[in-house]
Structure formats: C-alpha cells, structure tokens
Amino acid sequence: MSTSAPLKSRVLACAASALVVAGIAACAPPEKKDSGAQTQSGVKAAEATSAQDFGGMDGLVKAAKSEGELNVIALPPDWANYGAIIKAFSDKYGIKVTSAQPDASSQDEINAANQQKGRSSAPDVFDLGQSVALANTAMFAPYKVATFDSIPAAYKDPNGTWVNDYGGFMSIGFDAAKVPPVTNVNDLLKPEYKGKVALNGDPTQAGAAFSGVVMVALSQGGSADDIAPGVEFFGKLKQAGNFLPVDPTPATIESGQTPVVIDWNYTNSSETKKLPSWTVFVPPNNPVAGYYYQAVSKEAPHPAAARLWEEFLYSDEGQNLYAQGGVRPVRADAMTSDGTLNAEVAKALPTVSGPVTVLTPQQTEAASKYLSEHWAAAVG
C-alpha cells in the first residue's frame, strides 16, 4: 500500500487493482473434484442441511477431516475471540484453517467469494454485518446446526440460511488517564473532550460507525426509525470542535491519538487488555445491539468442514469462546438457563437495563439512505 511509489509503478498499480484480485484467484489451484462427494445418506456435502445428512455428527467430523482444510475470511484474531476460536477448532479436529484478509470488511467477503468462485481458496463461511448479509442470501447454503432450536427465532432464518452468531452493544471507550469519565452521551459535548471524540469509521461505509450514530440518536430522543437527532448531535460535536475525524485503530488508541472512541463494546474491551486505563461505557438506558450474521457459502470448496465449523461455533464450547471475547453469544439466554454459560465470563458481559434496540433490515435501509444524504453535511 505504498502511496509514494514512483509514478510508473503507481499508474500500473492503480490500473491493475481490478486485475490483481483476478490474478490471485488465477494462481490458486483449481477446486478438487472430491468436494462434491456424497455423504452416507446420499446427499451431496454441499447440499447437506444438517448433520443428519452425514449420518450424524461422527459422519460430519469424518467428512470434514477428509477435506482437511477450512477457509475463513475477515476474522481479526482480537475480534470476538476469533484467534482462540480458530485455534480451538483446528486443534480439536485437526483441520487446517486458512484465515484470509483478517481486517477485510463484510463487503470484501462477498467480493472474495465472487472473484474466487470455483477455486480451492474461496471462503467457506461468512461472518457478515446485517445489510451485507441480507443483500446476499442467494449465496448462502441453508444449514441447521444441532443447537438450532435453542437460538431465539428473531436471530435466525427459519431455514438456517443465516443465523446470528454473536452480538454486542454500542459503547463509548475512553482513556481514564487522559479524559474525565464519560457517564452520558451528552458529556461528549463538554469542552474537556475538545478534539478527542472519534467514531470507528464513516457511518456511510462502516457498520460499527453506523450503529454508533444510531446509539447517539436514541440518547437524543430519536428512535430506530428516526436517526436524524444522532446526525444532528455529531454536527454539534463537530461545531464544538470535539469531533476527531480519525479512524481509530489499536495504534491510535495506545498512543493517545484517539482518547474517546465510539465502537462496539467488545472491540473497546479488547483494548483494555493492552491499555488498562481504557474504560468501556455502554449507555444503559437505550442500548443499541448489533448481531453478526453467520452463513455457509454455497460455493464452499470444503463444504463438510464449513458445516463442522458452524456446529463448533454454536456448540456450548464455541459460544463460551465467543463470550470470552466480550461478545454476547446468540445462545446466551438458553445457556444461562441450563447453566452451560461460563459464569465467570458471563459476569464480564455488559449489563443493560433499558429495552435493547436492534434495527430491522427496513430500518437499516432507511437510515443508510438518510445518512448518505445528510452525514457529509453534518461533519464536513
């Protein structure tokens, strides 16, 4: 990503960007023929909709082991504990996990699946933000994990085309050593926070920033249907000189360039491990939750391993691993009632009192439209 490469290579690089992706795809060996192997019950692995189609879990494990590999994409190791989850899965089943582009966006996942279609390097499974997931359901293979029934109906497609895997609350992270504690969204307008409040990305592009605007909107009297007060608040923040238009990263947080960051509680709390004075505040009255969408790719080069990965993620073990990353696993309620959720980990998850807001796809669409028209004017 060198920006100041000499001109010739820059022009080349610029013009070549589209092709590079195609080039990478072209380098990968063609898909192995055995991926369409039939399972014991005579169903193709790529069309199996539950472990029964493999003759039960043992059959699925055997089929996955014979594929021996799994491609995941856009799973940062410090995000929702994915580093540990990938390792646990790989150790348990002896399957080699290739984690491509850990920092990619949801849309990048879909782009990669399209560009590498039919190659052994194509992603097997997706972990997507809401709008990207719902716009691409045609690319998912329906699959119901063994624990499908204990997932609340609001968090899954009835056929298992997609299932929410984990969620979090929008939060305000701040460095207690540098700024006074934030106890309320309105605090951010105070002069003590001049030039210090950052949002994780541009809300017209990044899902996390988008939810940040929704959270602020709720605190300002808006609703899931009306995010205008949120945009207005950021306008005021900008006028007060408090808005810091820097994309926060672990580097900017640790070096003190972004002392206050609006982001998911789990990304913020993973910073606390590196910077102990980093405090996470979830506005308790109008919490905004967002769930990620898990799905198996229809074109998965390792269809059995992809399904085994889903089984692992939704098993008690996988869900507890998620919880250790500070996210709320989708089966949290069921697991709390039957006592399988690790109590110590559960205690560390944020508690909220008010009703939790999760935007419906229609509300998300209306809000994105509003943002693309008004955001730039508010903070520009």
Partner 1 sequence: MRRVRDGLPLLPFFAVVVVFLIIPTVTVVVSSVYVDGVFSLERVAALFTGTALSALLNSVLLSASTALLGALLGAVMAWLIVSSPPTSMVRRTVLSLCSVLAQFGGVALAFAFLATVGLNGVLTLWIQQATGWNLAGSGWLYGLGGLILVYTYFQIPLMVIVFIPALEGLREQWREAAVSLGASTWAYWREVAIPLLTPAFLGSVLLLFANAFAAYATAAALVSQGSPILPLLIRASLVSEVVLGQSGFAYALALEMIVVVAIVMAAYNLLVRRSARWLA
Look up residue 131 and give its amino acid. S
**Which one among 256, 276, 354, 361 touches partner 1, defined by CB under 8 A?**
256
Cβ neighbours, 10 Å, residue 354: 11
- Least distance in Å: CB of 254 to partner 1? 11
15 is a contact residue toward partner 1 (CB under 8 A): yes
115 is a contact residue toward partner 1 (CB under 8 A): no
For residues 206 to 245, the per-residue mask of contacts with partner 1, x marking binding by CB under 8 A and - elsewhere, is xx--x------------------------------x-xxx
Angle between helices 228-239 and 361-379 (to 10 degrees): 20
- Least distance in Å: CB of 321 to partner 1? 24
Distance CA 204, CA 6 (A): 32
Q: Rule CB under 8 A: which of 124-163 touch partner 1?
A: 129, 131-132, 135
**Which one among 37, 88, 146, 379 touches partner 1, defined by CB under 8 A?**
379
Cβ neighbours, 10 Å, residue 86: 19
Nearest one of 52, 74, 82 to 160, comparing CA atoms:
52
- Least distance in Å: CB of 36 to partner 1? 29
Which residues lie closer than 8 Å to 263 by C-beta, 6 or more apart? 170, 171, 173, 199, 200, 208, 212, 248
Nearer to partner 1, 22 or 348 (CB): 22
- Least distance in Å: CB of 5 to partner 1? 7
Distance CA 159, CA 165 (A): 15
Pairing of strands 260-264, 197-199: parallel
Which residues lie closer than 8 Å to 354 by C-beta, 6 or more apart? 284, 285, 286, 287
Q: What angle do CA 106, 111, 114 make, to 5 degrees?
A: 135
The DSSP-derived string for 58-122 is HHHHHHHHHH-EEEEES--TTSTTHHHHHHHHHHHHT-EEEEE-TT--HHHHHHHHHHTTTBTTS
- Least distance in Å: CB of 229 to partner 1? 19
By residue count, the chain amounts to 380
19 is a contact residue toward partner 1 (CB under 8 A): yes
Please choose, out of 53-61, 105-113, 264-272, 276-284, the segment that lies near partner 1 by the rule CB under 8 A: 105-113
10 is a contact residue toward partner 1 (CB under 8 A): yes
Residue 110 structure tokens: 């879909």
DSSP 155: G
**Which one among 115, 252, 272, 340 touches partner 1, defined by CB under 8 A?**
252
Nearer to partner 1, 154 or 246 (CB): 246
205 is a contact residue toward partner 1 (CB under 8 A): yes
105 is a contact residue toward partner 1 (CB under 8 A): yes
The DSSP-derived string for 217-250 is HHHTT-BTTB-HHHHHHHHHHHHTT-B------H
Please choose, out of 152-160, 215-223, 250-258, 288-296, the segment that lies near partner 1 by the rule CB under 8 A: 250-258
Residue 265 structure tokens: 């509680």
DSSP 32: P
Question: Phi-psi region for residue 94, left (φ > 0), alpha (ψ -120 to 50) or beta?
Answer: left
**Which one among 66, 223, 255, 362 touches partner 1, defined by CB under 8 A?**
255
Residue 357 structure tokens: 């807001």
Nearer to partner 1, 7 or 343 (CB): 7
195 is a contact residue toward partner 1 (CB under 8 A): yes
180 is a contact residue toward partner 1 (CB under 8 A): no
**Which one among 164, 258, 267, 294 touches partner 1, defined by CB under 8 A?**
258
For residues 270 to 289, the per-residue mask of contacts with partner 1, x marking binding by CB under 8 A and - elsewhere, is --------------------
Nearer to partner 1, 26 or 348 (CB): 26
Q: Are the beta carbons of 140 and 297 closer than 8 angstroms?
A: yes
- Least distance in Å: CB of 249 to partner 1? 9
**Which one among 154, 177, 246, 356 touches partner 1, defined by CB under 8 A?**
246
Nearer to partner 1, 16 or 154 (CB): 16
Q: Which residue ranges make up the site for partner 1 (CB under 8 A)?
A: 1-7, 10-19, 22-23, 105-108, 111, 129, 131-132, 135, 194-196, 198-199, 201-207, 210, 241, 243-247, 251-252, 255-259, 368, 371-372, 375-376, 379-380
